[in-house]
Structure 1
Amino acid sequence: MDTLNPNWFLRARLKTRQLLLLIALDDHRNIHRAADELHMTQPAASKQIKDLEEMLDVRLFDRLPRGMEPTIYGETMIRHARMALTSLSLAHDDIVALKAGLTGQVEVGVIMTPAMALLPRAIADVKAQAPLLRIGVHMEHSSLLIDRLRRGTLDFMIGRILERDDSLGLIYEELTEEPACAVARVGHPLLEQDKLAIGDMVNLPWILPPHGSILRHRFDMMFRKAGYEPPSNVVDTTALLLVTALLQQTDSLHVMPLEVARYYASLNVLAILPIELPCRMDAFGIIRQKEHLLAPGAELLLASVRSAAAAMY
């Protein structure tokens, strides 16, 4: 494939309708249904795709008996088409925001630990400055949030990059590491001891993240390195509502990020056990797309997150 100049799309006279057609084909995988959605004829839709393929000198879709399947080149163009149209759809909101003060919409993704203290602090600061700014918060695992970030449905996220390939095209600003701690119900007998050891907790019931999770692996390795088999009396769950209910009704223990535990301890829902665990999660940070221009409201929230992190960590 010939190297395209940075402004190839100007030379190609790339049309918004072609971007919409790429997305419709990705959604329907059928040229007839995609054309119908855009009120085009099927031949016109086919010509639009053919023109784009000729300009790029690649095949964007495989024509199959039952429809059309995007190639790796097609998937790349579809991803960028979604991001471009998302950016265009927000342009009007940005203009209005600049004219009338900060309004509009910000979409941010976050994992559990920064959702407990860091992000609420940043949001409170932003709302004091721009009360009309609408802030959408999505709390999920990092891998799912990164997928949404790449699709253009998030302005930025606070989470982890777990695989090297996940970092392609992204900017990562590390904020802090995430130590873990052991917790129990308020009034648990172990809280009467001044200091605990790993061996004191081997034969007790535990509520743990399921096998396959990073925290569960490091929890198990913590016991093995201390010369013990990991606890066998275990309930596997990540549902915090169930975890807190089980803690209050039993003598079970639980392992969770220290910042999350401090939040629940401040509400007297649980207590942190007197032991410093040699067990921690990977660091998390701010993740955003390279060369992605943020709206004014998103820039304000991002700056507030950085400021709150500097004060907290």
Structure 2
Amino acid sequence: MTADITFQQFCNWLKLKHLVLIDTLARTQNMHVAAEQMKLTQPALSKMLRDLEDMLGFALFERLPRSMKPTELGEQVARYAQVTLNDTKNFVAQINKLRKGGHGYLKVGTIFAATFNVLPEAITLTKEQRPLLSIEVVEQTSDNLLQMLKRKEIDLMIGRFTEDHYRQLFDFRSLGPEPFVLVVNPRHPLATARAIDPAELSRWPWILYPSGTPIRARIEQAFHEHGIPLPDNTVDTISMPTFLQLLQSGPAVAMLPAPMVQPHLDTHALCQLDCAFAVAALDFGIITRKDDPLPPAAAMFSETLLALYARRNP
């Protein structure tokens, strides 16, 4: 039986160029393309891969006629390589910022609704304390953000769990429930109607969040509970500008987070429908990797967000 690799051996063997090789080959699944991207000759790349597989004691890739597919163990190593390289890229970016007198780099993932709530104020307060801190905001759906957080492409996220198994990987600090409202443009035939029968809703076009998102699941559940069919005429999007443009340009209906549409309700650009059709408010909050302490800037930003929500919702 082959002896286990010790931690010290692993540290002595493995170099970042090995991780770059594994990540590049896993993405391209082509030796020639990987060699070009790494600016190496194909024989040099092949030798590096053979040496690495000899050190690890197992094959990382299947040698197929036209591709290099990761083995089952190779997929595990490729995931490790991707996470480690992303972590290293973030570290290099922070070091360069610090060398220039800055205060590091913070990358926050957020669902679209949060950008209409206290996120801008939290960023402003954080920048007041660390004016040279670079902050990047990535707007995406929760399912995409969770994958980015897992791969260490973002420091933290503001969103929701889309599946229960994520609770084993991440910590969640609630920012509170987020209500949803049913809206149309003011010219819509339903805009001035009272006590609208929910069954009437399936007759109209709908703009929906994509399948797999928490709000989409809640809306589909609401249709089921009211015993009415899902609308046939739909557009799926995660873009708030697209939601607004489609609502304004036609007789569409949408269920959107209240903080996101409140300014449009205040200016009468949109109308909230008087209808019993509703979805339960969804809790959202700050999600971070378990057993992975936040960098100081991310921890300060997180506490600022929590304090702002607590102040607004005593």
TM-score normalised per structure 2: 0.79
Identity percentage of aligned residues: 29
SS in 1 for 2:307: helix
Instruction: For residue 89 of structure 1, report the CA deviation from its aligned partner.
Output: 3.0
Check 1:44–1:246 CA distance in 2 against 1; reply closer, same or farther (3 A cut): closer
> Cα distance 1:33–1:215, how it changes in 2: closer, same or farther (>3 A)?
closer
Output the CA distance in 1 between the equivalents of 2:56 and 2:290: 23
Residues 198-243 of structure 1 show CA distances to partners (whole Å, capped at 9, x for unaligned) of 45854763533168455455335435534x5247585434354344
Task: Say which is worse superposed, 301-310 or 204-213, in terms of deviation.
Answer: 204-213
SS of residue paired to 1:132: coil
1:59 and 2:55 correspond: no
Correspondence for 2:10: 9
Bigger mean CA deviation after superposition, 119-128 or 43-52: 43-52
Give the 3 Å change call, closer, same or farther, for CA 65–130 of structure 1 in structure 2. Answer: same
Aligned to 2:195: 196
The separation in 2 between residues aligned to 1:103 and 1:93, in whole angstroms, is 11
Stretch moving more, 78-87 or 272-281: 272-281
Q: Report matched runs for 1:94-173 at 5 Å.
A: 94-95=94-95, 102-167=102-167, 169-173=169-173
Deviations 1:248-287 (A, max 9, x none): 4556543212222224324543233455754136432222
Given that 1:181 and 1:255 are in contact with CA atoms closer than 8 Å, whether structure 2 keeps it comes out as: yes
Q: Which runs of 5+ in 2 are unaligned?
A: none
- Cα–Cα, structure 1 residues 57 and 176, in superposed 2: closer, same or farther, change >3 Å? farther
Q: Does 1:28 align with 2:28?
A: yes
Q: In 1, distance between residues paired with 2:293 and 2:94?
A: 11
Amino acid at match of 1:25: L
Distance 1:167 1:32, change over 3 A: farther
Do the aligned residues in 2 keep the contact of 1:219 with 1:279 (CA within 8 Å)?
yes
SS in 2 for 1:254: strand
The 1:66–1:269 alpha-carbon spacing in structure 2 relative to 1, beyond 3 Å, is same
Change in CA separation of 1:71 and 1:185 when aligned onto 2, cut-off 3 Å: same
**Structure 1 segments unaligned to the other structure (5+ residues):** none
Q: Does 1:302 align with 2:291?
A: no
Whether the aligned pair in 2 keeps the contact of 1:205 and 1:231 (CA below 8 Å) is no
State the one-letter code of the partner of 2:16: T
> Alpha-carbon deviation of 1:15?
1.0
CA distance in 2, matches of 1:301, 1:210: 28
More divergent stretch after superposition (299-308 vs 181-190): 181-190
Distance 1:293 1:78, change over 3 A: farther
AA matched with 1:229: I
More displaced stretch, 104-113 vs 302-311: 302-311
